[in-house]
Structure 1
């Protein structure tokens, strides 16, 4: 095969993707000779989108790419100089700057829950500060779209779901990386050619109304298309009248054009109208014509709620093309992951830091820590557990834990197993974990939702809450920090 091989890696220098305050703080740390002090930052989020029971962690690959390639070229330095905010010594330092920290993270595609650190950065102070916005941009966007897609795929009950959203995305990158996230979340493919090329996602598509409207009549439009693409004919049947024109002309093409070529009509697409009602009528018309194998594809402002409603009404649909409500996560378009300092290295050890707020949900989980997923004897996850980084979790005997919402209760894990969720991905600024393919990440998401995550957590309405518990030692440390903060 000829042509250029396109990898999934983005060759643009996006190092300047940061908020100004990251630079002003970095300059201040540099001025105070604090650039090499090690710190710990955590990435976490506070609530699931759409009041759901879980989210899908996505965007890690782009976080690693950013960290590995972070640098400032001469044009960047010139721009910083023009702002008249930074010392000459700091700008000279930036010319040779490279990220030298460590990044721990859940494997990409992990089903995640609020308030647990899905990424932990252990790095020199300036390094950790400069990557904040880029990390949050990638994780917030892709996790949002992957989570939305997962919900839509669940609503489709095994039917094909494709991403049709590029033209409604907020820009080109949102379309392309949104397609990546949608594929991880369970979409079968995308209509976005750039995403297909860049990430090797299967691409699909049919025709537009403009093709049908260009020709003098609908039958001619269908016939011309079938003659050009006889092996993959999906006809858009709602340009004029679905039941009295579109489907009869599609059947005519199947009989007069395709069958003499020993080909079959693959499908028809509906893009407007009452999709539940029309799909049932169309199914009967196709079956009566001997086209039982012809698929019905629908699009038009779909999401998990409309798909659930259509199928509840008996809609005869084989495939959904989901656009604007997927690629923009229209019903809840903000994911809300944050990046907070949790420890500072002092005298050879990491000393925990905590953010205190009048809003309880904004109080952070301090310190360098571990997150474990706890599985019951049925193989499904019963809770996640936060411990100190050096704690050992021994589940061979009943293990006492603290529910931070009901700390007075005496609770234990029994007959359970634990899996540590965070892994070291980047060490000293360079990736040490192998690159996961999109197929592997996508399969990992599906495996978790099929076998590990309770169906009750996957409900759209009033999902079961996944518990985030703490070891007694970790909970006590957090409470002690809160007590100290009251006296400041």
Structure 2
């Protein structure tokens, strides 16, 4: 294992992704759910429906940050949560204290006894972390007894929505920074220590090189980086004393924050320290700019450093950076080598929530048949997709050409038949279609086994492998998809068969509602006549 240098080339090897839950060992998380999940579970048990097979999907409707894509993250922490999920005595005792409006216990003892013995029994397939995914595509597919599928919804959404959001934000920052080093400095502005830990994990998957979060470094093996704060400089009688002392303590890891007082004067004093370091066989690793006009100050600082023979000294910039500011600074030619990104990364500042949802798509009826289910809405984006869904990614010439969502219960995978083209239809606008020729086409399927019959079966990937998948995934698509303004739309949608079946179900449902309303109106008219 290499030494974890604050700004050197050494990196810690990424540890296994588990354990990944940002909680103290021994803490039960069974109650990390919404009350209505428990009320529905109780209701299913009372109705004798708890063991009916169901299919749920988690997906998102609109990509964040006015973009077109997400980077999936959080699957490992969700799997850790589910693997440990059980209701202990303390959990059940709390549920006994929950009362209804009548003051009586909300849950009966038969249900609590059921929960005491219950363990998740279903099978789950999920998109591997670091995969690029598009709107309406299932991130997770759950096939489980109805009660089981319901109970896991809240934690799944809470974990995967946040980490996917942060991984996506970081990937945009990585795209803006190019080959420059990106450091995640967000812990102090995170939404709690648990949010900081989850965010550091997701940021590394999304493309950050390192984090300032020491616990994340310890738990996940993410390289840790850090310099000193303005308080260090202010604690000494002079800036020179502060720099000299820091260099004495860390002669081979001296990165000096130069903007506590006058920035360019601070750069000159840092150079003086660098000259002293070289006399002792060390060097000035870098300077950090945390305020002011970063384009101007970094250029002036670079000139001062180069003129004094410190061409290899790095310039680190922080100060409310995000992908757009980084892109602007690089366009202006700012000679910044390392980007420390904090608040706007860890909080996903411009869009602090991913609109991931969890919908029932099929359920077993009383006769044991699987029946597709679909949520109907006047908004096309909110009309769900029925069936048990899979995503086939179509490749042409080693690049991704389109994604097809299809129903594994009623369809063959795209490209399996003698079809000359595969048609992809937008789930929101049926006029948007793309036909991809099957000649030379290669197909990969995105959902991979995570649990089978309640047992975790996924391989134990490292965060480094997930991070590498993100970089390889970004390189596999047309770069216009990742533009910050007016990104190109990637072809991701329904198969022809699934589109037609969804339309038929939607039309049938609207016709049923129309007939019900007509019948109600007729009954009202007749009642009105008889009362006269």
Pairing 1:68-467 to 2, within 5 Å after superposition: 68-83=83-98, 84-244=105-265, 246-256=266-276, 258-346=277-365, 347-376=367-396, 378-390=397-409, 391-394=412-415, 397-404=419-426, 405-406=429-430, 411-415=435-439, 416-450=441-475, 452-467=476-491
Q: Deviation digits for residues 196-239 of structure 1, max 9, x if unmatched?
A: 11111000000011111111111111111111111111000001
Q: State the SS of the aligned residue for 1:50.
A: coil
Structure 1 alignment gaps of length 5 or more: none
1:408 shift after superposition: 9.3
Counterpart in 1 of 2:76?
61
Deviations 1:362-395 (A, max 9, x none): 000111122101112x221111101220423226
Q: Would the alpha carbon gap of residues 189 and 448 (structure 1) be closer, same or farther in structure 2, given more than 3 Å must change?
A: same
Worse-matched range after superposition: 181-190 or 383-392: 383-392
In structure 2, how many angstroms separate the alpha carbons of the residues matched to 1:24 and 1:413?
49
SS in 2 for 1:34: coil
Shift of 1:473: 2.0
**8 Å contact from structure 2 (residues 391, 447) kept in 1:** yes
RMSD of aligned residue pairs (Cα, Å): 1.7
Aligned partner of residue 311 in structure 2, secondary structure: coil
Greater alpha carbon shift after TM alignment, 171-180 vs 418-427: 418-427
Q: Which range is displaced more, 205-214 or 400-409? A: 400-409
Q: 2:386 is paired with a residue of what secondary structure?
A: coil
Q: State the partner residue of 1:8.
A: 19
| Structure 2 residue matching 1:292: 3-state secondary structure | coil
Q: Which runs of 5+ in 2 are unaligned?
A: 2-14, 99-104, 513-532
How big is the shift at 1:483? 1.8
1:39 is matched with which residue? Answer: 54
Aligned equivalents of 1:408, 1:154: Cα separation in 2: 28
Displacement, 1:250? 0.5
Query: Cα offset for 1:108?
Result: 1.3
Distance of 1:392 and 1:169 partners within structure 2: 42
Rounded to whole Å, the distance in 2 between the matches of 1:400 and 1:163 is 41
What is the TM-score when the length of structure 2 is the normalising length? 0.88
Distance 1:457 1:473 in 2: 27
Query: Is 1:476 the equivalent of 2:524?
Result: no
CA distance in 1, matches of 2:346, 2:32: 22
Counterpart CA distance in 1 for 2:200 and 2:420 is 44
Larger Rg: 2
Distance 2:374 2:142 in 1: 16
CA distance in 2: counterparts of 1:98 and 1:327, whole angstroms: 34
CA distance in 1, matches of 2:306, 2:390: 57
Pick closer, same or farther for the CA change 1:402–1:145 going to 2, 3 Å: closer
Whole-Å separation in 2 of the counterparts to 1:213 and 1:408: 60
- TM-score (normalised: structure 1): 0.96
Distance (Å, rounded) in 2 between the aligned partners of 1:325 and 1:410:
36
Q: In 2, distance between residues paired with 1:162 and 1:350?
A: 49
CA 1:9 to 1:243, structure 2 compared with 1: closer, same or farther past 3 Å?
Answer: closer
Determine the C-alpha separation between the residues in 2 that align with 1:135 and 1:284. Answer: 51
How far the C-alpha of 1:413 sits from its partner, in A, is: 2.7
Native 8 Å contact 1:372 1:385 kept in 2: yes
Deviations 1:343-373 (A, max 9, x none): 0023444211000001111000111122101
1:402–1:475: 8 Å Cα contact kept in structure 2? no
Q: Secondary structure at the match of 1:487?
A: helix
Write the deviation string for residues 125-178 of structure 1: whole angstroms up to 9, x where unpaired.
Answer: 111111111000011100000000000111112111100010000100110110
Q: Is the 8 A contact 1:164 1:323 kept in 2?
A: yes
Using a 3 Å threshold, how does the CA distance of structure 1 residues 412 and 339 change in structure 2: closer, same or farther? same
Q: Is contact 2:414–2:422 with CA below 8 Å preserved after alignment?
A: no
Q: 1:215 and 1:408, CA in 2 relative to 1: closer, same or farther beyond 3 A?
A: closer
Deviation of the 1:400 alpha carbon: 3.8
